[in-house]
Amino acid sequence: MADAALFEFLHTEMVAELWARAPDPSPGGQKTSLSVLEGMGFRVGQALGERLPRETLAFREEQPPKEVPALGGRVLDCPLTLQIGDHWDQRGGAVGSCSRPPPHPQWYTALCPQGTYILQDNDFPLLVRMAAGPQYLEEAPKFLAFTCGLLRGTLSTLGIKSLVTASVTTLPACKFQVVIQRA
């Protein structure tokens, strides 16, 4: 499917454009570009959230956020991983080509009980093209902002307020940290 390559090109150009136009190379200007990217990802995530298969909702509804917050970290484990997994498969399915197997993210709950989830992808498609290893580590976060917004947007469509941040230690592996915010 050519869709995967199209999206990768578009994404690369988006990042390049925002950085070329940023008149302010200091961290303040970079933050604006990052938040623009994240905002775009958020809007796309909201739309993608509508397309998710309805079975994902079934698990989530068992535990509305009003219930016992102490159990929240554990109780949300099942539905959230299901949603993130489905969502990732969708994106992975779109981005993977026939010659490359789709990425297999591993997710696990962190020790923090307030509902922090870490999604680790060892083969993130948008970073695979850049390098393997620590070479372009400073450039990597720009390419993750859109995806952070995407995850946040999808979760918000499903009614979950969250905060998503990303970190990279070695390309192309990256970690997305999702913190569920209690209303």
Partner 1 sequence: MAVCIAVIAKENYLLYIRSIPTENELKFHYMVHTSLNVVDEKISALGKALVDQRELSPSLLYPTEDHNVYGYVTNSKVEFVMVVDLSNKALRVNEICSMFRKLHNSYTDVMCNPFYNPGDCIHSRAFDSTVTSMMTQVC
Q: How far is the CB of 96 from partner 1 (least distance, A)?
A: 21
Task: For the CB of residue 169, give the shortest distance to partner 1 in the complex, in Å.
Answer: 34
Q: Which one, 21 or 54, has the nearer CB to partner 1?
A: 54
Cβ proximity to partner 1: between 33 and 56 the closer is 56
Question: Does the protein bind partner 1 through residue 183 (CB under 8 A)?
Answer: no
By CB under 8 A, which span of 5-13, 15-23, 26-34, 157-165 interacts with partner 1? 157-165
Distance (Å, whole) CA 91 – CA 103: 10
Contacts of 76 (CB under 8 A, 6+ apart): 63, 115, 180
Number of residues that bind partner 1 (CB under 8 A): 18
Cβ-based nearer residue to partner 1, 83 or 147: 83
Q: Which is nearer to partner 1, 88 or 124 (CB)?
A: 88
> How many angstroms separate the CA atoms of 48 and 10, rounded?
18
User: For partner 1, which residue of 9, 71, 159, 169 counts as binding (CB under 8 A)?
Assistant: 159
Interatomic CA distance for residues 182 and 165, integer angstroms = 17
Whichever of 53 and 69 has its CB closer to partner 1, that residue is 53
Site string for partner 1, 41-60 (x = CB under 8 A): --x--xx-xxxx-xxxxx--
User: Residue numbers of the site for partner 1 (CB under 8 A)?
Assistant: 43, 46-47, 49-52, 54-58, 61-62, 64, 157-159
